[in-house]
Chain A
Amino acid sequence: MLTQEKLNFLKDKAKEIRQEIIIMITRAASGHVGGSMSAVEILVSLYHHIMKHDSQNPKWTERDRFIMGKGHATPVYYAVLADCGYIPKEDLLGFRRPGSYLQGHPKQYTEKGIEVSTGTLGLSLSTTCGMALSAKLKGEKQNYFCLCGDGEIQEGQIWEAAMFANKYKLNNIIAFVDRNYMQSDGYSEDIMPLDPLEPKWEAFGWEVFSIDGHDFEQIINTVEKAMLSDKPVMIVARTIKGKGVSFMENDNTWHGSPPNLETAMRALGELV
């Protein structure tokens, strides 16, 4: 359970991470704001409350793993990893620049907390299944968290992995869909309808939870329940693309376009 003090801490963290997202993308003049903002509470919950991990010992074998399926949301990923001490803050300056390990989409770098290269969509749930199966084969107990974009799960390979996880009873997987209903070309239900989404995962043998993906208490309480499941778990987290900055919310302009300096200042003004 979450104390009021911890809840306030997490909310403050979310605000800081959102500021960092705007700054990173503005500085790089490149990057995906909207899908980073929608996933902030999920990543903050995982890294600051749920997952067992240690940035001073990034190769700790018993750590829980996070796999970033929607790899274009590197700004939120890197900002959280920096906040946890995996990535030196000054390295964020290199985001999307030549010579930096902070690639536009994640490149595996275990020492910096980046577990696996991801980002061409649809691949990560399979990799997560392989990792989770490896743990099962060795009798290890850690959890495997994967964050998929809702557009991402239009990829067929996701459903291959969904079948696989059910067959091999990979209840050490807790996955999220960042259900912000937006993708590059627009509204997901226009591009390729996903609803009714929860019954799809249930039909594939997963235990499914439906939550508000910006509500820390719902995220954390649901993951606690998910850890007791005897099935792989999919948490459909309803989110708002661009969450936290009024003029970015649900405006797909901010899928992959960076703000200019003036717009960034307006955005930061809303995040103080």
Chain B
Amino acid sequence: MKKYTFTEKKDTRSGFGAGMQILGQTSPNVVALCADLVGSLKLDAFIKENPERFIQCGIAEANMIGISAGLTIGGKIPFATTFANFGSGRVYDQIRQSVAYSNKNVKICVSHAGLTLGEDGATHQILEDLGMMKMLPGMTVINPCDYNQTKAATIAIADYEGPVYLRFGRPVIPVFTDADQKFEIGKAWTVNEGTDVSIFATGHLVWEAIQAGEILAEKGISAEIINIHTIKPFDTEAVLTSIKKTGCAVSAEEHQINGGLGDSIAQVLVQQYYVPMEYVGVNDSFGESGTPTQLMEKYGLTAADIVEKALKAIRRKNS
């Protein structure tokens, strides 16, 4: 089992900002749009270096999505940015109609996803966006796990032709992936190989899954940890290969259980290879105000919760 360590903590949204800064230098067709949240999206460097390639849309997200769709006609690659809540739920029809149905090369890049938005509370903590977005035909949905991976994903989606929803978050979390990684859309990353249980995690939960793997190892259990950074297109092969080896699965996501990563895995299990599976996610509930740590504990999204569900899945497998 590979031991993952970190020397610093950073927010994934800063990874996005760093990726945008590089795109500012390397991809002249990339333009950024924002709905009055430039600081939160870490766009300052991009805007400073490319003022003519930034379009401030004001607090009008619906219009921003339409503007982005229109901008694509001349070859521009619009990165429409706001909070996840305002870049998905608020503008679902705009995305469905103007972007997905028209197959526009728009990158919807959203921060402050999930409970870890924290103190602002449930109004702003969207926990349904991965499900809504993955349901849209043709939409690519990416939820990277740390600063470096978010930066790499940001750069990678500029080269991909088609609509993308890139989701990241607010709090600082450990940076544990390679700084110079190449991001491959749709290709799951096996963080640690194991034989007793497969833990499929996405976003902020990947680090928790790694911690869970270490706790399980101390109990003599070998957990396979897989980072599903791309929710869609879904890496069915990675799931099948792993569960055929381990015989049980756990999903872990900062999202509703209904309709999220776990349900994508469950589809594979039901249709192709049945094994017992447990979900770690928010169970049909809105969030509330609190620090990210308090909320992740209260709503059951920590390494300890993943361990508990892994043990349960293994018990079901052996019963």
Contact = CB atoms under 8 A, between A and B. Distances in A.
Given A134-B73, A157-B62, A127 B101 contact: no
Contact of B63 (A107, A118, A126, A132): A126
Given A130-B66, A160-B62, A164-B67, A119 B97 contact: yes
A156 B70 CA distance: 18
Contact of A120 (B52, B70, B97): B97
Given A130-B71, A133-B67, A135-B74, A117 B62 contact: no
A225 B70 CA distance: 25
Interface in B71-119: 71-74, 76, 78, 93-94, 97-98, 101-103
A235 interface: no
A147 B67 CA distance: 17
Chain A interface helix/strand/loop/mixed:
helix
* Residue with the highest number of chain B CB atoms closer than 10 Å, among A123, A127, A130: A130
Given A120-B93, A160-B62, A131 B70 contact: yes
A130 B62 contact: no
Nearest to A61: B74
Interface string A96-129: 0000000000011000000011111011111111
B65 interface: yes
Contacts of A119: 97
Contacts of A131: 70-71, 73
Contacts of A127: 66-67, 69-70, 98
Interface stretch (B53-61, B146-154, B305-313): B53-61
B77 to A, nearest CB: 11
A129 B73 contact: no
Contacts of B14: none
Nearest to B76: A134
A133 B70 contact: yes
Given A160-B60, A160-B62, A163-B60, A130 B70 contact: yes
Contacts of B76: 134, 137
Nearest to B101: A117
A116 B71 contact: no
A124 B31 CA distance: 21
Given A131-B73, A133-B55, A126 B67 contact: yes
Interface residues of A, number: 31
B14 to A, nearest CB: 28
A123 B94 contact: yes
A107 to B, nearest CB: 7
Contacts of A132: 70
Contact of A123 (B60, B66, B74): B66
Contact of A163 (B31, B58, B78): B58
Contact of B69 (A130, A135, A138, A168): A130
B242 interface: no
Nearest to B78: A130
Interface string A228-271: 00000000000000000000000000000000000000000000
B227 interface: no
Contacts of A116: 69-70, 98, 102
Given A123-B98, A140-B74, A164 B69 contact: no
Contacts of A138: 74
A123 B93 CA distance: 9
B63 A134 contact: no
A163 B58 CA distance: 9
B143 interface: no
B63 A164 contact: yes
A161 interface: yes
Contacts of A135: 74
Given A117-B101, A120-B93, A123-B94, A130 B67 contact: yes
A117 to B, nearest CB: 4
A168 B103 CA distance: 25
Contacts of B60: 157, 160, 163-164
A107 B73 CA distance: 15
B206 to A, nearest CB: 35
B251 interface: no
Contacts of B69: 116, 126-127, 130
B74 A134 contact: yes
A135 B67 CA distance: 12
Contacts of B97: 117-120, 123
Interface string B25-64: 0000001000000000000000000001001011010111
A135 B62 CA distance: 21
Contacts of B103: 108
A112 to B, nearest CB: 14
B68 interface: yes
Contacts of B101: 107-108, 117
B62 A133 contact: no
B74 A129 contact: no
A164 B71 CA distance: 13
Interface of A: 107-108, 116-120, 122-135, 137-138, 140, 156-157, 160-161, 163-164, 168
9 contacts: A116-B69, A117-B102, A126-B62, A126-B63, A130-B78, A133-B70, A134-B73, A160-B62, A161-B67
The 9 A-B pairs of least Cβ separation, nearest first, read A130-B70, A126-B66, A160-B63, A160-B60, A131-B70, A130-B67, A134-B74, A157-B62, A127-B70
